[in-house]
Chains A and B, each alone.
Chain A
Amino acid sequence: LHPESQRVQLQGRCGSCTEFLIHHLFVPEFDGKNVSSVMGFESNQLPANAPIEDRRSAATCLQTRGMLLGVICSLFGVLIHFFALSERLFYYIAVSLLPHDTLCELEASVEAGRAFSPILQWHKHPNDYFTREAQSLYFNSLRTYWQELIDLTSPGDVPDTREALLNAFKRLDNDISLEAQVGDASAFLHYWVLRVAFSGATACVAHIDGPDLYIANAGDARAVLGVQEEDGSFSAHTLSNDHNAQNDSEVARIRSEHPHSERKTVIRQDRLLGQLMPFRAFGDVKFKWSIELQKRVLESGPDQLHENEHTKFIPPNYHTPPYLTAEPEITYHRLRPKDRFLVIGSDGLWETLHRQEVIRIVGEYLTGVHQRQPLKVGGYKVTLGQMQGLLEERKARMSSAFEDQNSTTHLMRHAVGNNEFGTVDHERLSKMLSLPEELARMYRDDITIIVTQFNPHVIGAQRQDDES
Chain B
Amino acid sequence: MSFFGFDTTLPRDRQQGGPARGFFENPDPFAEVARAQALEDDDGIDFEDTYDGLGDQLDDDQDAFNDDTFGGGDTGAAATGNVGRDFDFFGTTAKVADVIGEEQVRYALQNPSAAPLAAQQRAAAPAPATTATAATTTAKRTGYEKYSDPGYIPDLQAKSSVWGVSQKKPEPIPAASRRPMMSLEEVEAQMRQRSQAAPAMPPQSIPQHMAEQAYLPHPQYPQGVPEGFPAIPPEYLRAALEKGVLPPGMPGLPPGIPELHGGPVMSGPPPMHIQQNQLPPQTLPPQGPRHAGPPPGPRQQQQQQQMPPPPSTRGPNGGLPVITNPQQLMHLTEEQRNAYLVEDAKRAKRNHKIFLLSRGNGLMTPQDKNFITRIQLQQLVAAAGNVADADPEAVLSEDFYYQVYSQIRGAPRQHPHQPLGHFAQTYLLQTGNRLGGHGNRRAFQSADNHMQRMQQQVQRAVEAAKAKPKNKQLIIEGSLGKISFSNAKAPKHMLNIKRPDSSEGPRPKKVQSDLSLSDRKSILTNIESVYSALMAMEDMERTMPPPPEEGDSEAIQEHMEWRQKVHSLNQKLWRALKVMEPIVPNSTTPHPFIAFLSYPKGKKAIPRIFRHIDQEQRVTILTMIVVHLDSLDVVRLAQPGPGEAQPSVAVRESIDLFSLAVMPSLLGYVNEAPFNIIIGLLGLVIAQTHVQSVARTKVGLGILTMLLSRAEIVKEAGQAAERDWQQWVEKFNVLFDTLEPSLADIFPGAINTGDDMYVWQFLAAVGIGASPEQQQRLVIAVKDRVMETVGYSKTLPADMASLRLGNVNLFMRAIGLDVELLG
| A in complex with B | no
B residues adjacent to A (C-beta < 8 A): none
